[in-house]
Chain A
Amino acid sequence: MIQKLMSGINFFCLSIGMLAMLLLPLHVTVDVIFREVLGTPILGTIEIASYYYMIAIFALPLAFVQEKDEHLVADVLESIMSKKFVGLTVSVGYLCTVIFVYLLFQQTALGAWTATGNGEHVELVFTNLYTWPSRWIIAIGFGAMFLQALLQIVRDVLQVVNRPKATSGA
């Protein structure tokens, strides 16, 4: 049930990342056409691409990557490791992920809070572009990833706890 809800959140975040993935090249191409043909680029293209599209593309699919275990791993020793040991390494991986990503979440959320308070922005020619919302995007990405990794650890622990019971029951 919780995993189902989490999967929904993960997929929603991924979808926003995919939308940013599509908008980025369209926006930049239109900017290049405007610059080369009309001589006037679209104001703030580099800033919007960097602070919004790139942040969304980087951070929002992370929870989905975590859920599907799509992180790059080296499988070189897997064939000579026992199934139990592979299971252990996967769980240790989840544990390290939970700790590391929690730190990332906590620190980026703190950064986002401060930036929001300061009204963080970059100056464009005629106007300002607020950048503090994009700090929340990165915090949300890490937050979702942290929750997903935590769920995976809980699932693993429950599996280990339930296994002896099932054996003794049989």
Chain B
Amino acid sequence: MSDVVIGMSGLLTILLLILFRLPISISLGFVSFLGLTQIIGFNSSLSLVGRVPFDFAANWTFTAVPTFLLMGTIAFYTGLTANLFHAARLWLGFLPGGLAVATNFACAGFGAASGSSLATTVAMGRLAIPEMTKYKYDPGLACAVCCCSGTLGALIPPSIMMVMYGIFAEQSISKLFIAGILPGLLTAFIYALMIILRCSWNKDLAPRLDERPTMQEKISALLGIWPLLVLITLVMGGIYLGFTTPTEAGSIGVVAVLLLAAYQRRLTVDLLMKSLKDAAVSTAGIFFIALGAILLTKFMTFSGVPVALAEIVNQYSVSPLLFIIMASVLYLILGMFLDPLGILLVSIPILMPLLQSYEMNLIWFGVIAVKYIEIGLMTPPVGMNVFAVKSLVGEDFSLVTIFKGVFWFLGAEAVIMVLLIAFPQISLFLPSLM
């Protein structure tokens, strides 16, 4: 059996094992190890397995992952951004579908404090879904806006996905963070436009709010979100102005969020312990998957699969656009079945050599990849964000109702993706100013 065949068989086995519910980390690591034994021999593979964990974990760049995760969990548990939804509601409630639009922008705001779309979905879903239900909003719209706008958490910096992409694709994490800002805002605005148009067309979807807040109330609500503004200034301002690296910014973010929560008397020892435990468990889980992905990268390199794929692509003179479309289809299909981190870490070792052969901008591709992976969180049958919302609403609304609402947002995503692919400057303009 040739090395390429071993590599392809290994990839297929990994996908099958993941589909059959084996832990993603073990599927990646174990199969890659077995594949490596076939290519470079047992002893060399064993020595590789011994070296990789320490070399990989003792990495300064990786410190961004636990710190941003901890920042997000503390913000989540202490309800630091609870005023965000209130402020968005007072300012945007007058619009058709005002509460849904407010939820959408509140998610964008929470995304600036959390690097995870799941955390954003749950945090905002807890506040916004009961409120929208009270005002007799269409259940599909109420749930879907939380599922889909929650994905802004992974695009608007800080973003754990961007950190992982940056490390594995060897790209600047600062630039990736900054590159996510405009696509994140574009997504929020297109979602808002879609909600407003739908609710103007069909008034039963979202009855208008009868409250008319005064300007004083609005300004007071806006002042209530100052902790978030402080956090954004410290974390993103530091990175953008070059005072801090993303790794340092994550640490500063944790200390800032701790001080802000303590100042607002929201921080208790219990909440701190809960945040630390959640962040530690998530970090270990993510890093264990990443360890498997590193072994996969080595397995792919030794097997020569990426080179063979690049040769095929060159042989058929696939245009860059067609290649991006093919990669998009691949991400959409994988997104229907796999976990976001799994998709990212399985795809990078295979796609990266191809992207390099096309001389594509890897910062731009990072934004595209993260966008597609986040779309996977909304698509059936897995759609993790949909399940997160389902767990919040219990038996009140069915999965089918939520997925029906989500399809409108997927339509909006199609428009957003076309814009992001057709106009790379949307992603690259801000990084070009750094």
Contacts and interface: CB of A to CB of B under 8 A. Distances in A.
A46 B59 CA distance: 9
B361 to A, nearest CB: 29
B22 A93 contact: yes
Contact of A108 (B26, B29, B50): B50
Interface stretch (B13-21, B78-86, B184-192, B210-218): B13-21
Contacts of B279: 21
B281 interface: yes
Contacts of B250: 25
Interface in A1-49: 14, 17-18, 21-22, 24-29, 31-32, 36, 46, 49
Contacts of B281: 14, 61, 64-65, 68, 70
B24 A25 contact: no
B125 interface: no
A130 B341 CA distance: 33
Contact of B59 (A54, A74, A76, A103): A54
B413 interface: no
B240 interface: no
B342 A57 contact: no
Contact of A65 (B47, B67, B284): B284
Considering residues B22, B58, B252, B253, which has the most beta carbons from chain A within 10 angstroms of its beta carbon?
B58
Considering residues A46, A75, A138, which has the most beta carbons from chain B within 10 angstroms of its beta carbon?
A75
Contacts of A62: 284, 288
B21 A22 contact: no
Interface string A140-157: 001000000000000000
A72 B47 CA distance: 27
Contacts of A103: 33, 46, 49
Interface string B236-278: 0000000110011011111100000000000000000100110
B50 A110 contact: yes
B51 A111 contact: yes
Contacts of A99: 30
Nearest to A16: B280
A97 B288 CA distance: 12
A31 to B, nearest CB: 8
A170 interface: no
Given A18-B273, A107-B47, A93 B57 contact: no
Contacts of B337: 74, 76
Interface in B284-304: 284-285, 287-289
Interface string A55-80: 10111111011001011111111100
Considering residues A21, A72, A81, which has the most beta carbons from chain B within 10 angstroms of its beta carbon?
A72
Nearest to A111: B50
B63 A58 contact: no
Contacts of B30: 96, 99-100
A27 B281 CA distance: 21
A129 B244 CA distance: 25
Interface string B56-93: 01111011001100100000000000000000000000
Contacts of B33: 100, 103
Contact of A71 (B23, B57, B251): B23
Contacts of A49: 60, 63
B201 interface: no
A49 B58 CA distance: 8
A29 B273 CA distance: 20
Contact of A24 (B25, B66, B288): B66
B312 to A, nearest CB: 28
A159 B60 CA distance: 44
A22 B339 CA distance: 28
Contacts of A25: 67, 70, 250-255
Given A21-B66, A55-B54, A55-B58, A72 B244 contact: no
A136 to B, nearest CB: 11
B67 A18 contact: no
Contacts of A61: 280-281, 283-284
A75 B251 CA distance: 34
A74 to B, nearest CB: 5
Contacts of A70: 281, 285
Contact of A89 (B21, B49, B54, B252): B21
Given A72-B342, A73-B21, A111 B247 contact: no
Given A14-B277, A99-B30, A54 B58 contact: yes
Contact of A77 (B19, B23, B59, B252): B19
A44 B381 CA distance: 48
Given A32-B252, A86-B21, 13 more contacts: A32-B244, A54-B62, A54-B63, A58-B57, A61-B283, A72-B24, A73-B18, A74-B342, A77-B21, A89-B20, A100-B33, A108-B50, A111-B50
Interface of B: 18-27, 29-30, 33, 46-47, 49-51, 53-54, 57-60, 62-63, 66-67, 70, 243-244, 247-248, 250-255, 273, 276-277, 279-281, 283-285, 287-289, 336-339, 341-342, 381-382
5 tightest Cβ-Cβ pairs between the two chains A and B: A107-B50, A71-B23, A28-B251, A25-B254, A25-B251
27 contacts: A14-B280, A17-B280, A21-B66, A24-B67, A25-B67, A25-B250, A25-B253, A28-B67, A46-B60, A50-B58, A53-B63, A54-B58, A55-B57, A58-B288, A60-B284, A61-B283, A72-B24, A73-B24, A74-B21, A74-B24, A75-B21, A76-B19, A78-B21, A90-B21, A93-B26, A96-B26, A106-B50
